[in-house]
Copies of this chain bind each other. A is one copy, B any other.
Amino acid sequence: MFEKKPVGVAVIGAGYWGSNLIRNFAGHPACELRWVCDLDLDRARGVVGRYSTLAVTDSVDDVLGDPTVEAVAIATPAATHVTVAAAAFAAGKHVLVEKPLAATVADGRRLVELGAEAGRVLMCDHTFCYTPVVRRIRELIEVGMLGDVQYVDSVRINLGLVQPDVDVFWDLAPHDLSILDFILPADRRPVGVAAQGADPIGAGKACVGYLTLPLDGNAIAHAHVNWLSPTKIRTMIVGGSARMIVWDDLHPTQRLSMFDKGVDLRADSASTEERDKALISYRTGDLVAPALPEYEALRGVVGEFTSAIREHRAPLTDGNAGLRVLEILEAATQSIANDGAVVPLKDDR
């Protein structure tokens, strides 16, 4: 294989997520990590450690002015994404942005436009889309193993940090929404969103939240996000007309289970009155838990980002994917203001 030139990269933001990005960019053969940048220089130094040759700086200008830096990964607070990324595009860099893409749909849309104008890659770090299990779910749906998707139910709860800047929807639901965006087929797109939140601890923002998304084809998706749960749960169920799957992310030896069981409605139902009784049947078949490869999702993110750069193409989770997630989050906020009624989503995809 023809060896591609490694991509010179800098990571901006050395907090929790930034440090994971640094480790993965440093360890990936397709990159050369040039800079670690953080306003707090000590934090940057702490992350690279005592035995590192990596350059650290507290100046974004150092990074953007370095011609060996072709791309930046931005892991700063969401509200700052648009400013930092705009500067990066202006300097001709490709950009990877931590989720959510931006703090508002307007900002997110601006980012997408700037990337397009600059002719640079804009990728949103929807990390879960690069896990072996989500890739497999997408594939199983794509090849028809599940039949028509009927419902998706996602639970993402634990005793989590109450974030200073965002509520539980904006903190946790981007994961669920980006996964939905990634796995759902074109005939099962969300047509609206209803949201219910609660702030029982007086934190000044929702700490417990429920999202319901009617999907095309009478299907439904739902997500429960919660910072106050004593027990950690990370499950997603996808029910289909042919098979159903359960993803339990905290069950590492059997993350994904596919059940060959379900409810069938026979198509030849003579009359409406009778069909409830006579024409529903149940299948109870075997369970199959596919063997999944084990690798870190962020390694896949780094690989996709560098490949998209070298191949001059949009990445799997591009700015538009990030924008679709933002649109649902803003509609959810509006639904809460409307007593939980469904807010329709424009279909501009």
Contacts and interface: CB of A to CB of B under 8 A. Distances in A.
A318 to B, nearest CB: 29
A159 B53 contact: no
Interface residues of A, number: 83
Interface stretch (A71-79, A81-89, A94-102, A287-295): A287-295
Interface in A248-264: 250, 253-254, 257, 259-263
How often does this chain occur in the complex, in copies? 4
Contacts of A153: 157, 208, 224, 226, 229
A218 to B, nearest CB: 5
A141 interface: no
Given A196-B220, A204-B272, A210-B222, A257 B286 contact: no
B204 A219 contact: no
A212 B210 contact: yes
Most B Cβ at <10 Å: residue of A27, A148, A151, A342: A151
A333 to B, nearest CB: 15
A15 to B, nearest CB: 14
A288 B288 contact: yes
Contact of A237 (B196, B200, B231, B254): B231
* Interface SS, A side: strand
Contacts of A212: 196, 210, 340
Contacts of A339: 194, 341-342
Nearest to A164: B276
Interface of A: 26-27, 33, 48-54, 148, 150-151, 153, 155, 157, 159, 162-164, 194, 196-204, 207-208, 210, 212, 214, 217-220, 222, 224, 226-232, 237, 239, 241, 244-246, 250, 253-254, 257, 259-263, 265, 272, 275-277, 280, 282, 284-291, 338-342
